[in-house]
Amino acid sequence: MMDSLIQLLIQWGYVGMFLSAFIAGSVLPFASEIVLAALIKLGLNQWGCLIAATLGNTLGGMTCYFIGHLGKLEWVEKYLHIKREKVERTRKYLENRGAYMAFFAFVPILGSAITVTLGFMRSNPWITCIAMMVGKVLRYYLIIQATLSIT
């Protein structure tokens, strides 16, 4: 099933890259890196792939932010599968650090907890979004460079 979805997203090119990155950045665990590497190997423009991946993943992350902003911890536990304890631990860690910590939203598993918690904390959405986007663009850029070096 997952292989079929990945193949479909690869066939959709930039739109598939955007969608896979959005999914990976939001509520479902998904390896958008596989789609990115495949598209680069197929010869799609690396800058187009970088833009599609960054925008999709950032919007997915901001979806988590706004879910946290709603303040419904039971929704976070039910739909995002992030435990209350993890949100509380993350909140304590982020208390004196603020929205700039969204830079680390690219970190697997922790990224969702960071963005949801920043939403709960009502951190500045613009700073959160920009910091998140910077982290994600750097991550995807490094993945593209690694893929190109293997070619």
pLDDT tens for each residue of 80-133: 777 878 778 877 888 878 888 889 888 877 888 888 889 988 899 999 999 999
Which one is predicted more confidently, 6 or 122? 122
Listed residue (18, 12, 115, 27) closest to 68, CA to CA? 115
pTM greater than 0.95 (yes/no): no
Total tally of structural domains belonging to the chain: 1
Task: Identify the burial level of 3 via C-beta atoms within 10 angstroms of its C-beta, where 0-12 means exposed, 13-18 middle and 19 or more buried.
Answer: exposed
pLDDT band at 60 (very low <50, low <70, confident <90, very high): very high
Give how far Cα 116 sits from Cα of 52, 65, 70, 136, Å.
23, 5, 10, 16
Which range marks the domain in which residue 38 is found? 2-150
pLDDT band at 147 (very low <50, low <70, confident <90, very high): very high
Res 12 pLDDT > 80? yes
Mean pLDDT, residues 70-84:
77
Cβ–Cβ under 8 Å, residues 2 and 8: no
Which of helix, strand or coil describes residue 63?
helix
Res 3 pLDDT > 80? no
Q: What is the percent of the chain where pLDDT is above 70?
A: 97
Mean pLDDT, residues 127-151:
93
